[in-house]
């Protein structure tokens, strides 16, 4: 079953074409890593799918629901507000800079959306939040404020926050880029565990070894286009295109 279908997605900022005819899909339980040089449109791709940017053209279907379609006249139209909201609740997004709510405790950060948006009972939401914190190895930090945590801990809280809404598909926008090198490991470990649980994920990352290790499919983007897409063995192997090889050598050196 396809969890995400993106066809011919395009997006410009002024004259700059950030996404050109981007097409890919994600199957249930699949882990997709998106790699490529800075400014290649990886983050914009994620932001368009998560409704933080409005796409200019193309088709997006999330979990079987149309989000962006072409109508009979060929115009690009978004679904109505209610549908967009429902889609939003099926997707989770983890940011590079965590974006935790600084005025709330860790527990409150995780329970706020389930309580306010999904109208869950607070006690139930808290119970679930504590389970998530335990999974993240942070069960003792529920009463802490984000500013009291390390970057890696904050990122784990933000993953728990996204998981609290039971998303069908989870997106990561360079989840380790704002972290010290020695803290990236703890995040990668959490993502690996989620992959083992069968979570569908799309991860924009600069961690090549990690992408190779955890991804079922790797997408290499450059200048707003998908240059190559395939299994990690293919992209990281000898048969990869020269451009991908060139990009990877720079990372490995």
Partner 1 sequence: MTKEQLGALFSLMLQYVVPTMKIFCFTLLWSIPLGMIVALLKMCGFKPISWLTNIYILIMRGTPLLLQLIVAQHSVPYLLKWDKCPSFIHSLLDGVDIRSSGYTFTMLLIAFVLNYAAYFAEIFRGGIEAIPKGQYEAASALGFSRLQTFFRIILPQVIKRVVPASSNEIITLVKDTSLASAIPYMEIMYIAKKQVPTYASLTPLFMAGAFYFIFATVLTLVFGYIEKKLNYYK
Residues that bind partner 1 (CB under 8 A): 50-52, 85, 88-89, 91-93, 95, 97, 99-103, 112-113, 116-118, 145-147, 158, 161-162, 165
Complex with partner 1: residue 91 or 205, whichever CB lies closer: 91
As measured in angstroms, the least distance from the Cβ of 79 to partner 1 is: 15
d(CA 70, CA 7): 11
- Helices within 36-175 (DSSP H only): 42-49, 81-90, 106-116, 122-135, 151-163
Measuring CA to CA, which residue among 43, 51, 56, 44 is closest to residue 84? 51
Measuring CA to CA, which residue among 121, 11, 133 is closest to residue 60? 11
User: Would you give the end-to-end CA distance of the chain in angstroms?
Assistant: 39
Complex with partner 1: residue 168 or 213, whichever CB lies closer: 168
As measured in angstroms, the least distance from the Cβ of 103 to partner 1 is: 5
d(CA 203, CA 201): 6
Task: Supply 125's token pair.
Answer: 């939401």
As measured in angstroms, the least distance from the Cβ of 236 to partner 1 is: 31
As measured in angstroms, the least distance from the Cβ of 62 to partner 1 is: 13
Q: Are residues 26 and 51 in contact, defined by beta-carbon separation less than 8 angstroms?
A: no
Complex with partner 1: residue 101 or 251, whichever CB lies closer: 101
Complex with partner 1: residue 156 or 161, whichever CB lies closer: 161
Task: Supply 161's token pair.
Answer: 């926050």
As measured in angstroms, the least distance from the Cβ of 145 to partner 1 is: 4
For the beta carbon of residue 107, count every other beta carbon within 10 angstroms.
19
As measured in angstroms, the least distance from the Cβ of 73 to partner 1 is: 28
CA atoms within 13 A of residue 115's CA, in its CB half-sphere:
15
């Amino acid at each position: 079953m396809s969890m995400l279908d993106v066809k011919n997605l395009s997006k410009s900022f002024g004259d700059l074409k950030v996404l050109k005819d981007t097409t890919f899909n994600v199957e249930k339980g699949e882990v997709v890593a998106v790699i490529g040089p800075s400014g290649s449109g990886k983050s914009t791709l994620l932001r368009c799918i998560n409704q933080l940017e409005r796409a200019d053209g193309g088709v997006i279907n999330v979990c079987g629901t149309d989000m962006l379609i072409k109508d009979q006249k060929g115009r690009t139209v978004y679904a109505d507000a209610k549908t967009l909201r429902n889609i939003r609740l099926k997707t989770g997004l983890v940011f590079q800079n965590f974006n935790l709510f600084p005025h709330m405790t860790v527990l409150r950060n995780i329970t706020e959306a389930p309580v306010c948006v999904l109208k869950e009972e607070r006690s139930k939401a808290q119970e679930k939040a504590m389970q998530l914190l335990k999974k993240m190895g942070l069960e003792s930090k529920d009463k802490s404020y984000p500013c009291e945590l390390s970057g890696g801990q904050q990122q784990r809280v933000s993953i728990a926050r996204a998981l609290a809404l039971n998303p069908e598909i989870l997106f990561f926008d360079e989840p380790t880029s704002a972290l010290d090198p020695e803290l990236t490991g703890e995040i990668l470990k959490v993502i690996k565990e989620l992959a083992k649980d069968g979570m569908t994920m799309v991860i924009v990352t600069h961690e090549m070894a990690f992408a190779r290790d955890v991804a079922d499919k790797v997408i290499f983007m450059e200048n707003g286009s998908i240059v190559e897409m395939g299994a990690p063995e293919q992209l990281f192997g000898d048969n990869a295109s020269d451009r991908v090889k060139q990009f990877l050598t720079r990372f490995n050196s």
